[in-house]
Chain A
């Protein structure tokens, strides 16, 4: 699949080649630019945008603004990164709220882009922020779109204004107009207008969208676009810009494996900022869009900032410091471990968080095979232990292990493996927390582990990464306390199989042999963290 890997993978490949060379010659630059062009096209970046982009990169790479502190490969990475950020908009933008309520947000986009789901996510997100949003069912076209919005509104716990049944019955412009009065009467402070999907080439429907816009005079018009869209992103974005003149963009289905292209194209062609990213089917899979993070994600550095922020939602700083301290002083117990896991689960999908770690591009397959139920099983085992056992695993003799296995519905082997992996990880964490680089001998895959992912064994991949939550805890703790722990940063992206992914997929083997993060991983991550 090399030819059709995504943008991150392709650029990573390109730079890998470049890194092995000494100096950057004009021929190197041309070769690299050609690769970047291919990678961007494979990632569905619009051709004109690609031409523009590669032109700039080439010019700068050959120009004399050379940064002596970086090696040639790093320079190209830096240039590409900066240019990506420049296109993606530089800074994250927030919603513009009206001075006088209600704030009106209108959604528009192609059929199937994900507008209705997004309306629910946006409403839920605003409600969490103490707003009182009202969803407006102005898609009267698609069969049962009104009902879908009602269900979604129920799930989000917000009100829905749906005076018309839809399925071709009712006037969407009137519904939209009336909804504003309704919102003022009932004191909703944000109105979110869901509209029918429409094609850029459908003049009648574009006119209807323009009419809706006129009727509600929105503070924001969000153009919702599917991250999987191809070259047509440009034609469509232009048509919507001309038709309704949107103020911002939402990129949906970013949880798939097509992520870069449309973002670059739309931002570049319309000059409108991407404001939100939609990343899953649950109403909580929604986040502000950070251009700089997207750029580093494209470069396969991982969206580490988002990861940290999300993790901190669950791990407050205090807690993180405490955990790091425990690691340092070797007093981290199974109980602490369980507590961490539970907090992590509260933070949302563990898998998603792992996916945002640097290098995750290379481990997509293992990730897909990672079974979150593993956490549940681990939880079951630990919860079957007595308090004393949790605090001091040394107490766990044979008969206690049999009891725990029975209590948790697992086998004794499962219990043994958990304890073993806990001890290894705790040891590693101690090293990391003290600023060292972990060297764990014999951290190979754990054969026949009861925590295996979904059946299928994946081919080995080099440099697979651990999804060990404990390691992330250290990383977060270090960051939270403003400390620079090079080892900690590395641990996030390398190391043995720990408690995480490795067991089912045989992924631990390489990492175990290497005993820690590769130099390259450390380097890129440290560089990133120092920015």
Chain B
């Protein structure tokens, strides 16, 4: 990943924290920073209100105190859930879902590599049988990551059956982790969402699903919430993956997603390289955000 700092809110916040005392402008700047960071108007109002109370309670006028309180508030809110992946089953089946183009397939490549680094054996199931060249794309990633791959036997094969065969393959070959790619789908498409439910059900005939990871693109705005709610309802999401954090988007919407849905962020993607994936650490995340 290239050296960049544009992800942080610091640009928007710098002026504010450079001042001598907290005044009306400070609060305006804070509100602006949070809104432009995609936290959403509700969360922004909450945070600003919360900090106003704290500032008056501690009777401070120093923007440095406000900065610290902001960091604490965000860190506390981001730390409420447990971000660890649960991959203890054998095989541990991981289903990866999300809307079109958010980075599912890329994440799978990186994740397979990530697991390989811990000496786990991985098979990837190419269950996006819909999008042009999606199978080839995920196969390229599997190869780069040194993972096995299960492809559809014919074009346009039912994705659930590819998922089934992937899990079957993992069991037969004693592979520890099976990761299943799915086609991107907008959460408003009832039929396609039902298809996910079916994929899940079919997998469960073989083995319990260890994780259902919903991939969210950091550039998304408030629609991310609607995405999360729909995918949770139809696919039983257990963790969030936030991608494209190497760009200029701040992804503030994920706070509302975590809080409203109770589903934790588990992985962070920040680049197109195979190593650009990390676990989610609230402290680091907030540090990057606030600068």
Q: Report which A residues bind B (CB closer than 8 A).
A: 1, 3-4, 38, 41-44, 46-47, 110-114, 116, 141-145, 147-148, 150-152, 155, 167, 199-204, 226, 228-232, 235-236, 239, 253, 255-258, 261-262, 281, 364, 368-369, 454
CB within 8 Å for A255 and B186 given contacts A110-B247, A143-B141: yes
CB within 8 Å for A232 and B38 given contacts A144-B140, A199-B248, A261-B221: yes
Q: Please tell me if B4 contacts chain A, counting CB pairs below 8 Å.
A: yes
CB within 8 Å for A144 and B36 given contacts A44-B221, A228-B99: no
Give the total of B residues in contact with A, Cβ under 8 Å.
52
Residues of A contacting B272 with CB < 8 Å?
Answer: 111, 141-142
CB within 8 Å for A112 and B136 given contacts A47-B36, A235-B248: no
Residues of A contacting B246 with CB < 8 Å?
Answer: 199, 201
The smallest C-beta distance from B136 to any residue of chain A, in angstroms, reads 4
Residues of B contacting A256 with CB < 8 Å?
Answer: 99, 186-188, 223
CB within 8 Å for A155 and B2 given contacts A112-B102, A230-B249, A232-B38: no
Residues of B contacting A144 with CB < 8 Å?
Answer: 133, 136-137, 140
The smallest C-beta distance from B226 to any residue of chain A, in angstroms, reads 6
The smallest C-beta distance from A379 to any residue of chain B, in angstroms, reads 19
The smallest C-beta distance from B65 to any residue of chain A, in angstroms, reads 26
B188 touches A364 (CB 8 A): yes
CB within 8 Å for A236 and B219 given contacts A199-B246, A201-B247: yes
Most A CB atoms within 10 A — which of B40, B101, B103, B105? B101
Q: Please tell me if B73 contacts chain A, counting CB pairs below 8 Å.
A: no
Closest to B192 in A: A281
Residues of B contacting A112 with CB < 8 Å?
Answer: 100-103, 217, 244
CB within 8 Å for A155 and B132 given contacts A143-B137, A232-B250: yes
Residues of B contacting A110 with CB < 8 Å?
Answer: 219, 244, 247
Interchain residue pairs A-B with the least CB separation, the first 9: A230-B221, A112-B101, A44-B221, A258-B223, A151-B132, A232-B249, A148-B133, A147-B133, A143-B140
Q: Could you give, for residues 48-80 of chain B, a 1 whenever the CB lies within 8 Å of some chain A CB and a 0 otherwise?
A: 000000000000000000000000000000000
Closest to B109 in A: A143
B249 touches A114 (CB 8 A): no
B133 touches A228 (CB 8 A): no
B188 touches A257 (CB 8 A): yes
A253 touches B222 (CB 8 A): no
Most A CB atoms within 10 A — which of B4, B131, B223? B223
Most B CB atoms within 10 A — which of A38, A110, A239, A454? A110
CB within 8 Å for A231 and B226 given contacts A148-B131, A200-B248: no
Extra 7 A-B pairs, beta carbons < 8 Å, given A155-B132, A228-B224, A368-B188 = A111-B272, A112-B100, A141-B272, A199-B248, A202-B2, A231-B38, A258-B223
**30 cross-chain CB contacts under 8 A:** A1-B226, A38-B41, A44-B38, A44-B221, A47-B35, A47-B36, A110-B244, A112-B103, A143-B137, A145-B133, A147-B133, A147-B137, A148-B134, A151-B132, A167-B140, A203-B2, A226-B101, A228-B221, A228-B224, A229-B219, A231-B38, A231-B250, A232-B38, A236-B247, A236-B248, A253-B99, A257-B186, A257-B187, A258-B222, A454-B191
Q: Report which B residues bind A (CB closer than 8 A).
A: 2, 4, 6, 32, 35-38, 40-42, 99-103, 105, 109, 130-134, 136-137, 140-141, 186-191, 194, 217, 219-226, 229, 244, 246-250, 253, 272
The smallest C-beta distance from B34 to any residue of chain A, in angstroms, reads 10
Residues of B contacting A255 with CB < 8 Å?
Answer: 186, 188-189
B247 touches A228 (CB 8 A): no
Residues of A contacting B221 with CB < 8 Å?
Answer: 44, 228-231, 258, 261-262
Most B CB atoms within 10 A — which of A1, A155, A229, A454? A229
B32 touches A4 (CB 8 A): no
Query: How many Å lie between the Cα of A152 and that of B36 in the bound state?
Result: 36
CB within 8 Å for A4 and B225 given contacts A201-B247, A253-B100: yes
Interface of B is mostly: loop
Residues of B contacting A236 with CB < 8 Å?
Answer: 219, 247-249
Residues of A contacting B188 with CB < 8 Å?
Answer: 255-257, 364, 368
The smallest C-beta distance from B2 to any residue of chain A, in angstroms, reads 7
Query: How many Å lie between the Cα of A310 and that of B32 in the bound state?
Result: 42
Residues of A contacting B36 with CB < 8 Å?
Answer: 46-47, 231
Residues of B contacting A150 with CB < 8 Å?
Answer: 133
Query: How many Å lie between the Cα of A257 and that of B37 in the bound state?
Result: 21
CB within 8 Å for A368 and B189 given contacts A41-B35, A200-B247: yes
Query: How many Å lie between the Cα of A143 and that of B143 in the bound state?
Result: 11
The smallest C-beta distance from B36 to any residue of chain A, in angstroms, reads 5
The smallest C-beta distance from B121 to any residue of chain A, in angstroms, reads 22
Most B CB atoms within 10 A — which of A38, A112, A230? A230
The smallest C-beta distance from A297 to any residue of chain B, in angstroms, reads 15
Query: How many Å lie between the Cα of A199 and that of B247 in the bound state?
Result: 6
The smallest C-beta distance from B199 to any residue of chain A, in angstroms, reads 16
B100 touches A114 (CB 8 A): yes
A43 touches B101 (CB 8 A): no
The smallest C-beta distance from B64 to any residue of chain A, in angstroms, reads 25
B137 touches A148 (CB 8 A): yes
Query: How many Å lie between the Cα of A229 and that of B32 in the bound state?
Result: 18
B222 touches A230 (CB 8 A): yes
A228 touches B132 (CB 8 A): no
Closest to B132 in A: A151
B136 touches A253 (CB 8 A): no
CB within 8 Å for A3 and B42 given contacts A114-B101, A147-B133, A232-B249: yes
Query: How many Å lie between the Cα of A271 and that of B49 in the bound state?
Result: 36
B253's contact among A145, A230, A261, by CB below 8 Å, is which?
Answer: A230
The smallest C-beta distance from A427 to any residue of chain B, in angstroms, reads 32
CB within 8 Å for A201 and B4 given contacts A147-B133, A256-B186: yes
Query: How many Å lie between the Cα of A41 and that of B40 in the bound state?
Result: 7
Query: How many Å lie between the Cα of A369 and that of B191 in the bound state?
Result: 8
A152 touches B6 (CB 8 A): no
Residues of A contacting B190 with CB < 8 Å?
Answer: 368-369, 454
Most B CB atoms within 10 A — which of A228, A235, A236? A228
B217 touches A232 (CB 8 A): no
Residues of A contacting B191 with CB < 8 Å?
Answer: 454
B2 touches A204 (CB 8 A): yes
Closest to A368 in B: B190
Query: How many Å lie between the Cα of A282 and that of B270 in the bound state?
Result: 30
Query: How many Å lie between the Cα of A364 and that of B188 in the bound state?
Result: 9
Query: How many Å lie between the Cα of A199 and that of B133 in the bound state?
Result: 23
